[in-house]
A and B are shown apart, each in its own frame.
Chain A
């Protein structure tokens, strides 16, 4: 097996035993990137020089016996997360040459852990999208079928892991932007509880929904990354002050006696029959492993999409007002006055989906509409949260599909925004409630496209999710399949 195909935990063992060096490993990954990146386009910016420097530094640490689980491990970071001195574009023209003067907290933590940064990954512009087709830098492609989307908005991060262009990666999830691409690309993707991971340095899309989370090839790597990036942050007022457990201790158990809820609203919603079939099989596996399955109801599921597509654009319209060409980023030339400058800059700088959501959000917050839209949606958000509270009284975790369909074709949904939004119907509710969720591969379609199983947990119950995920993974082999590139 090539080094670039391995998991972080396996590589950590090899590094710690000095059987390999981080430099070798990094070179292996970089070579892989050279081989396949032209077809996948997972990255916006590659940082091979920095990576090699970091690899050398990591090797020194490992020599001294000071290795942490991620020391020397090549990873990628979604281009919505600030990296000091390295261009951070958010998939947009308007930040094409923006070089942050500071590191996001998660970047700081990973650097402190000795990780090796391969580059910044492609994404839907400002994290708005479900296919990575909204990137100014062109779409990324699904390693399992290059004519298909890798999911979005963290499509680059998902594809990079699936194609072994990095060992693990970070993405961000506002309405499913980690979980849905993870399902499309056959990797593990997790969104932690809101407030578990600091948002300082995460370029904001919808502030009350955004969270950073890991992509990896297996559940153990997910736990390792979660350990590394979680924790209270004084620079983020929404960061929660709770101790971080060692998430790897949630692994190695079983699901005997666990109660898993299946939302009955799930299987009616225009769900692809192969997806439905695969998820049902997964449920059978869990039953065989000793879990008890109960039916639960999330009665307001139907409204989640509407709630999300009001709240997120409203917050986004405000968060994106800072892109005005004054202080950083793209500024359109030739304008006569300030108003011209603003309008030209934003018209040229933003893509269609971003403009659409800014318009929607601006409208929904405007005088006379606030009550009917933002306030109303915020109240329904409470109902959705209460649905989960009810459900979790009766079960440890929820099981459902991640997405209603496997990865669709590039260009298939670009002209119909509402159709595109429907890709998120299973992932959105947990963002609204602030709950943690994970997607891992549970099967493949007849055409060989990955299908994702989603596990949702109660607040700060990442351990229960990981426990279920690990048990399922260890008793199946979907995570061992790799795309042929």
Chain B
């Protein structure tokens, strides 16, 4: 179990309908919310099936004993890459906003956030 010292909630896996299924439709919905995606019912069903077959395939990895193996998170062996604490020119405001879907008086405008 991951140690969790931050103030976040834990996601508890809801019970699966079909024990052979790796991911249920309900979980797909939850994951979609986490990823800020949405699906039509048909898409959701298709995704659920596809994701399940992909995840089945991933079970292959269980065949390997990796308890003594360090993980590789980087393809390079470099350590300690730094830059100096130097101020460099920033982009001008208009350039920063040049691709903004809704730029307003120097800000990026977004619809209201439900607080």
Contact = CB atoms under 8 A, between A and B. Distances in A.
Task: Tell whether any CB of A sits under 8 Å from a CB of B in the complex.
Answer: yes
Given A310-B58, A368-B11, A341 B23 contact: no
Interface residues of B, number: 54
A395 to B, nearest CB: 21
A338 B110 contact: yes
Interface of A: 97-99, 101, 194-195, 208-209, 234, 237-238, 240-241, 300, 302-303, 305-307, 309-310, 317, 321, 324-331, 335-344, 346-347, 350, 355-356, 358-360, 362-363, 366-368, 370-371, 373, 375-383, 385, 417-418, 432-434
Give the interface SS of chain A, mostly helix, strand, loop or mixed: helix
Contact of B51 (A99, A237, A360): A360
Interface in B58-115: 58, 60-61, 63-64, 66, 69-76, 78, 81, 83, 91, 95-96, 98-102, 108, 110-114
A418 B101 contact: no
A339 B91 contact: no
B99 A194 contact: no
Nearest to B97: A327
Contact of B112 (A302, A338, A417, A433): A338
A459 to B, nearest CB: 9
B82 to A, nearest CB: 9
A35 to B, nearest CB: 34
Contacts of B57: 305-306, 309, 418
B13 interface: yes
A381 B11 contact: no
A433 B16 CA distance: 36
B101 A325 contact: yes
A379 B74 contact: no
Interface string B34-59: 11111100000001001101110110
Given A303-B60, A338-B112, A366 B70 contact: no
Given A359-B47, A434-B76, A331 B101 contact: yes
The 6 lowest CB-CB distance pairs between A and B, nearest first, are A434-B75, A378-B71, A328-B99, A331-B101, A379-B66, A194-B75
B37 A359 contact: yes
B2 interface: yes
A318 to B, nearest CB: 10
Contact of A346 (B36, B54, B71, B95): B36
14 contacts: A238-B75, A300-B64, A303-B63, A309-B57, A326-B108, A328-B100, A336-B111, A338-B112, A346-B37, A356-B51, A359-B37, A359-B51, A377-B61, A379-B69
Given A98-B99, A341-B111, A380 B66 contact: yes
A434 to B, nearest CB: 3
A60 B23 CA distance: 62
A371 B58 CA distance: 13
B10 interface: yes
A209 B76 CA distance: 10
B75 A208 contact: yes
Nearest to B32: A359
Interface centre among A240, A379, A418 (most CB of B within 10 A): A379
A43 B20 CA distance: 45
Contacts of A339: 36, 114
B111 A195 contact: no
A325 B102 CA distance: 9
Given A337-B111, A355-B47, 10 more contacts: A99-B98, A302-B60, A326-B101, A331-B102, A343-B37, A360-B54, A360-B55, A362-B35, A370-B2, A383-B66
A381 B35 contact: no
B21 interface: no
Contacts of B111: 335-338, 340-341
A292 B33 CA distance: 56
B54 to A, nearest CB: 6
Contacts of B32: 359
Given A326-B108, A326-B110, A101 B91 contact: yes
B13 to A, nearest CB: 6
Nearest to A324: B36
Contacts of B95: 101
B13 A368 contact: yes
Nearest to B64: A380
Contacts of B74: 208, 238
